[in-house]
Amino acid sequence: MNKVLTPARGAIIAATFVGLALPAMAQGQLSQTIQNGERATRSAETVQQQINQLDDERTDMVGDFRTLLQRKDAALLYASQQEAAVASQRAELASLEDQLGRVDEITSQTAPMLVELVDDLEAFINVDLPFRIEARRENVAQLRANLTDPSVSVPAAYRAIMDEYQREMEYGRTTDTWKEDVDIDGKNVSVDMVLFGRVALVYMDENQRYGKRYDRPTKSWVDLEPKYKAEVQKAIRIIQKKRTKDMMYVPATKMAVSAN
């Protein structure tokens, strides 16, 4: 590695050559001067090293400072976003508190409507064809119980009422048959009940000895005309999927609804 000849060192070397020709006293002074120069050189090198170290430290500090500035900007942005989120949540909370404050008012207005819906449903069942009548009336009784049960919320009671209305609507599009025991002249007879939507409700035993249809005008069961017995038997087999679909003729009666 080449050594750099600094001005101080150059002066020392020159003074050395000159000192060869000087007297002893002058040589002593020259030696002292050389030593002083060497100490100054070493001191300068030490100072330069310190300067270099401080410069490196300054560079590191500048880098750290820039990093801190970036973090500060990110923190300010995050804080701004959080403030916006908190403001939105406070507005939502205020809205919810306002809605909760009106719950009693809404409930007081809704309760009579629900009662009216159940009353209308019960009235409809009472004038409808009397199929599965006990089960349908039990469902209405449960709806009424929901309205007075504190554990059943108003929305839950409303959904239950709507479900029952939907079920009643489905009956109007349903053709169904099921076994049922009926009292005929004091005898318990097993018959096939047949529901043709809300068009007709009839029943007939397996031997076709007993056959009746429900008559809306008189609200009673009347004898099924003989011409319909074969059609009802065919309908039973079609509904039970024991026969392919075919045209069916049923004893239909009009449904009279009065507006009060």
**What pLDDT is stored for residue 35 in this prediction?**
76
Q: Is the whole model's pTM more than 0.75, yes or no?
A: no
Local structure of 51: helix, strand or coil: helix
**What pLDDT is stored for residue 137 in this prediction?**
96
Task: Specify the DSSP element, H or E, that contains 214.
Answer: strand 211-215
**What pLDDT is stored for residue 59 in this prediction?**
82
Amino acid (one-letter) located at 3: K
* Own/partner pairs, 133-142, CB within 8 angstroms, 24+ separation: 136/168, 139/164, 139/167, 140/164
**What pLDDT is stored for residue 4 in this prediction?**
47
Rounded Cα distance between 138 and 136, Å, is 5
- Sheet containing 175-184: give its strands across: 175-184, 187-196, 200-204, 211-215, 220-223
- Structural domain boundaries of the chain? 1-101, 104-171, 175-239
From first to last of the 260 residues of the chain, give the pLDDT tens digit.
444 445 555 555 555 544 455 566 666 776 777 777 777 777 777 878 888 788 778 888 888 888 888 888 888 888 888 888 888 888 888 887 777 667 666 667 788 999 999 999 999 999 999 999 999 999 999 999 999 999 998 889 999 999 999 999 999 888 999 999 999 888 999 999 999 988 899 999 988 899 999 998 899 999 999 888 988 998 889 988 887 776 666 676 655 545 44
How far from each other are the two terminal CA atoms of the chain, in whole angstroms?
Answer: 119
**What pLDDT is stored for residue 1 in this prediction?**
47
Which two tokens mark 153?
């919320």
**What pLDDT is stored for residue 140 in this prediction?**
97
Altogether, the residues listed in the chain come to a count of 260
**What pLDDT is stored for residue 101 in this prediction?**
67
